[in-house]
């Protein structure tokens, strides 16, 4: 188990720590789905994953919940990069638009989240998921409450 004090880090420091250390001993949705932190900047996050058959919906394509989870993660983590140490957030609203299906055969999905507004009580962000051909799979917006 990690002995790093995660509560002492700013949001940006924590996200960069997650990117470089890639901890496997901390249970998370990212670990469950195999998410990788590809880029971490103030107000911006890029995460990717490889699809797999376990992600299938009854039609045999990637379940929309996978794209929604990627979007919630990149937008929420982008918001997190703007927060001081000891400050949390939670998603208040998530609006997802699905554009096309993704395959379950190891296709790389890449999600990017960008903060639009970071206030004292709320923050907003936008995100998109692209397939490995650069085609838009889904896009979204979120509102987060700062805790």
Please list the pLDDT of the chain residue by residue as tens digits (147 residues): 457 788 899 999 999 999 999 888 888 999 999 999 999 999 999 999 999 999 999 999 999 999 999 999 999 999 999 999 999 999 999 999 999 999 999 999 999 999 999 999 999 999 999 999 999 999 999 999 999
Token readout for 90 is 């939670």
> Which residues have C-beta within 8 Å of that of residue 110, sequence separation ≥ 6?
38, 46, 47, 48, 129, 130, 132
The C-alpha atoms of residue 144 and residue 81 are separated, in whole angstroms, by: 13
The C-alpha atoms of residue 88 and residue 125 are separated, in whole angstroms, by: 16
Neighbours of 118 (CB within 10 A): 19
The C-alpha atoms of residue 20 and residue 2 are separated, in whole angstroms, by: 14
The C-alpha atoms of residue 120 and residue 137 are separated, in whole angstroms, by: 32
Task: Give the pLDDT score at 9.
Answer: 94
The C-alpha atoms of residue 123 and residue 75 are separated, in whole angstroms, by: 10
Look-up of token digits 């395959």: 103
**DSSP reduced 3-state for 139:** strand
Strand (E) positions, 58-135? Answer: 89-98, 108-118, 122-130
Q: pTM (2 decimals)?
A: 0.94
Task: Give the pLDDT score at 2.
Answer: 54
């Amino acid at each position: 188990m990690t002995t790093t004090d995660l509560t002492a880090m700013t949001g940006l420091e924590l996200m960069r720590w997650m990117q470089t250390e890639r901890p496997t001993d901390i249970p998370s949705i990212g670990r469950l789905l195999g998410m990788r932190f590809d880029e971490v900047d103030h107000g911006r996050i890029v995460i990717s994953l490889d699809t797999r058959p376990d992600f299938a919906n009854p039609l045999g394509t990637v379940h929309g919940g996978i794209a929604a989870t990627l979007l919630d993660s990149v937008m929420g983590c982008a918001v997190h990069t703007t927060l001081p140490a000891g400050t949390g957030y939670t998603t208040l609203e998530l609006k997802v638009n699905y554009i096309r299906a993704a395959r379950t055969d190891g296709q790389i999905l890449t999600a990017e989240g960008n903060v639009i507004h970071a206030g004292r009580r709320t923050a907003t962000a936008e995100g998109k998921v692209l397939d490995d051909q650069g085609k838009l799979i889904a896009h979204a917006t979120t509102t987060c409450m700062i805790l």
